[in-house]
Amino acid sequence: MENLWAPWRMAFITPKTPPPPGCIFCTQPAANSDEEYHILYRGERCFMMLNKYPYNNGHLMIAPFKHAGSISLFDADTLAELMAQAQLALKALRLAMNPDGFNMGINEGKVAGAGFADHMHYHIVPRWNGDTNFMPVVADIKVMPEHLDTVYQQLKETIARIKDEEE
């Protein structure tokens, strides 16, 4: 039997410090440590960040700064910015990672799979043809080909380039 070594995953399994109490969509933007928390972009009402536990490379989330658990609790301006950031995310992901498609959506409520059910957030998961392999089937393990910090730098630079071109 051969071993598959992915020692960088230990940072996810055994974090150096316990996670802080509270909502990550409130505490992490407030910390103003965007690189540490992989916050890619900030708008007036919403922000974009990589998912620390991604389903695929480039899996990101967009969340309003306002803490509310349902899409029905946000005004039209916030929802418009959320969708504008989704467009920006898709453009950046296409330029930086060239996926073949995307899964996108909101898990509203704990029963629907929301890890932070009290703060609505929108997921974007890049997908590639042939991105499945034997590991999830045989061992219930997803192998990520790039480190989260590498994906962060790649997308952060791409988003900055896109925003510069728009100005």
Residues annotated as catalytic are: 121
Question: Which of 158, 157, 155, 135 has its CA nearest to residue 9?
Answer: 135
CB 68 within 8 A of CB 74: yes
88-to-3, 41, 47, 73, 164 alpha-carbon distances in Å: 39, 10, 11, 23, 12
| CA–CA distance, 33 with 5 (Å, rounded to integer) | 30
* Strand spans (E) along 13-146: 39-42, 46-50, 60-64, 101-106, 122-127
Backbone angles phi, psi at 23, to 5 degrees: -90, 125
DSSP structural state of residue 17: S
